[in-house]
Structure 1
Amino acid sequence: MTVYAIAQFEIHNRDSYDKYTAQFWDVFKQFKGSLLVNDEAPKVLEGEWPKDKIVVMSFPDEAAFMEWVTSPQYREIAKHRIAGATGPVLLAQGVQF
């Protein structure tokens, strides 16, 4: 079943975060995911949202997500994301009709 990774980041070190984003696509495209949303200016329609960026990705299943997120290639660039931004990353199951 399709899973969605949803990240909400607060960027506190732009240089580190930019190192991550500069390498992200080359790593991501090696895996089975799709980048659906990558927005540093989402419109907040209700409530408060104290973050800077939202990212939504889809993967065919949880195993495909785990293959990407635990890969040596991703772990190598993730250190720049961790140094440059904080925030939750959620993994949600898609709906099957």
Structure 2
Amino acid sequence: MTVYIVARITISDREACGKYEQGFMPVFNLFEGRMLSVDESPHVLEGEWTCTRTVLAAFPSKDMALEWYNCAEYQAILPHRLAGAKAEIAILAGLPAPAA
């Protein structure tokens, strides 16, 4: 079942994040990820949206999402993001397909 990763990122050092971004997509693509949205100015309907970037991505399964996050290639670029931003990241389960 499809799962979604939602990341609310507050960037403090764009240079460090740039190093992370350079290596991100090649690793992400290895695990059949689909980038659905990267937005730095969402239209907020309620509450306060204090992060500077919101990311929405999809993976075919929770196992695939976890394999991506925990793989050596991603872990090698992760320190750049950690040095340049704070994030709140969650995996959300998709809904089952409606019955025909």
Q: Compute the TM-score of the two structures, normalised by the length of structure 1.
A: 0.94
* 2:27 corresponding residue in structure 1: 27
* Alpha-carbon distance in structure 1 between the residues aligned to 2:28 and 2:91: 17
Once the two structures are TM-superposed, the CA of residue 31 in structure 1 deviates from its matched residue by: 1.3
* 1:82 corresponding residue in structure 2: 82
* Alpha-carbon distance in structure 2 between the residues aligned to 1:19 and 1:39: 19
Q: Which letter does structure 1 place at the counterpart of 2:93? A: Q
C-alpha offsets along residues 6-51 of structure 1, whole Å, 9 cap, x if unaligned? Answer: 0000001111111111111111111111110111221222211111
CA RMSD of aligned residues (A): 0.9
* Alpha-carbon distance in structure 1 between the residues aligned to 2:66 and 2:87: 19
* 2:11 corresponding residue in structure 1: 11
* 2:39 corresponding residue in structure 1: 39
Q: Gaps spanning 5+ residues in structure 1: where? A: none
Q: Which letter does structure 2 place at the counterpart of 1:13? A: D
* Alpha-carbon distance in structure 2 between the residues aligned to 1:87 and 1:71: 19
Deviates more, 1:51-60 or 1:39-48: 39-48
Identity of aligned residues (%): 38
